[in-house]
Amino acid sequence: MEEDKKLFYRMGEVAEMLALKPSVLRFWETEFDMLKPRKNGKGDRLYAEEDIQQLKVIRHLVKEKGYTLQGANELIKKGGALPEKEMGVVEQLKKVRAFLVELKEQL
C-alpha cells in the first residue's frame, strides 16, 4: 500500500525518512544551493516532494557512492547525478531487496 502523500513534510519527518539527523539536513542546506525548503511563520522548515528527491540524490552520492559534499555538488550542477527516474528505480530495488531478505529469513 502506498503511503499517503503530503504537500509538505516537517524536518523531523524527512530526517527519519532518509535516516539522517536534522542537523545534517540543515548543514546540507548551506552547502547545496538547490536546497531551499519553505519555512512557516515560526521558521520551521517544510520540505516538498521535490526537496526530498533532491535530498535522496545527495544522500545517495555522499553516503552510498562516497562523494565529498563538494564533489556531489559539482556533479549535480553538471547534471551528472542520477536523474529522479533512476533514483526511483534504485529506491524500488532497495524495497524489493529488503522484502526478499525478509522472505528468506522466514524460510
State the pLDDT confidence band at 1, using cuts at 50, 70 and 90.
Answer: very low
Residue 92 lies in a domain: no
Count of domains observed in the chain: 1
Residue 93 lies in a domain: no
Residue 96 lies in a domain: no
Query: By mean pLDDT, which of 43-52, 60-69, 78-87 is the weakest?
Result: 78-87
The tens digit of pLDDT for each residue in 64-80 reads 889 999 988 888 888 76
What is the C-alpha separation between 100 and 95, in angstroms, rounded? 9
Q: What's the CATH code of the domain at 60?
A: 1.10.1660.10
Residue 65 lies in a domain: yes
Query: Which residues neighbour 106 within 8 Å (Cβ) at sequence distance 6 or greater?
Result: none
Assessment of whether the complete model's pTM goes beyond 0.75: no
What is the C-alpha separation between 32 and 30, in angstroms, rounded? 6
Residue 72 lies in a domain: yes
Query: Which residues neighbour 81 within 8 Å (Cβ) at sequence distance 6 or greater?
Result: 57, 61, 72, 75
Rounded mean pLDDT, 20-48: 93
Residue 91 lies in a domain: no
Domain boundaries, position 59: 9-81
Residue 70 lies in a domain: yes
Q: Under DSSP, is residue 38 helix (H, G, I), strand (E, B) or coil?
A: strand
Residue 86 lies in a domain: no
Beta bridge partners of 38: 46
Opening angle at CA 65, ends 54 and 94, nearest 5 = 70
